[in-house]
Amino acid sequence: MNNCFALRFNLQKSGYDFGEKPQVFAEMFEQDKAFIEETLQQYEEINTKSAEKIIAEYDIRRLDFLKDKKLMLLGDSNLSERISYGKILEKVLPCSVVDGAVSGWRSVQLLSEIDRMLLNNNPDIAVIQIGTNDSFFCDKEAKTLCVSKEEYQRNLESIIEKVKNKGIKVIVNAISPAYCEILKKNHAFWTQTYENNENFNIIAKYCAEKAGVPFFDFRDIFKDKENYGELFYSDGVHLTSVSQALIADKFVRFLGENYGNN
């Protein structure tokens, strides 16, 4: 089994049906167990170092308002992975952090599950980062969007409304860009353009502003394409520990600025 695939399949919740029987993956997991355990340990060390750096550089007392609170992350694979910035936040924030992200999800999946997820977890703050999989083109020639911009807007507005109606504070995150040249080269089916990513981010920001909730835009860390090699994995979509640590740092400061001691 390909090690990268083994890691992704076994270490994050997935919305995909891979069409394989469970015992097949159990056998594959056993074959890659040593690799996965070693990588998990590496991830834990990376996350710990990233958290220690944030704590050393930022006055965490500004986040005392989070004590005894619960923050829930809602989104797709860039939130659900073991190396995601959510794992760093678990080590930094004075609150519990619930990972409600599912690899492969689009806005329609999150919308269909949001009521159940909120009921089961009862968060005080919900962080919504969804749209990466919506914004892809479902063919190599970039002719057909996986989800139309109109449908994405309707779904995101409904998600935000459902969360707000339960008295939960909402933060809407930007959609991380893709390394489009690498994605088109290495992915068998989907592709992306920088223009389309920007269009979906405009929608996400509009939905946040319309609902009167903060919009966390971390995309400035991707402004220099010369650094994309260390910010993205080779699939051109998923974010490395370098970019995840940068996002975690920005998010902690964003929380302090928008909610600090409120």
Per DSSP, the chain holds a count of helices (H) and strands (E) of 11, 5
CATH tag for 3-259 (out of 3.30.70.260, 3.40.50.1110, 1.10.3210.10, 3.40.190.10): 3.40.50.1110
Structure tokens at 66: 């989070």
Compute the CA torsion angle 196, 230, 3, 12 (nearest 10 deg).
-60
With 70 as the cut, is the pLDDT of residue 261 above it? no
pLDDT single digits (tens) 196-250: 888 999 999 999 999 999 999 999 988 876 777 888 877 777 888 899 999 999 9
- Which pLDDT tens digit goes with each residue over 150-209? 999 999 999 999 999 999 999 999 998 877 676 666 555 556 677 888 899 999 999 999
Model pLDDT for residues 86-122, shown as the tens digit of each residue: 999 999 999 999 988 888 889 999 999 999 999 999 9
For 143, the 3-state DSSP assignment is: coil
- The rounded distance, in Å, linking the Cα atoms of 59 and 241 is 23
pTM reported for the whole predicted model? 0.85
pLDDT digits (tens, 9 = 90+) for 12-53: 454 444 444 445 445 655 656 677 677 778 888 999 999 999
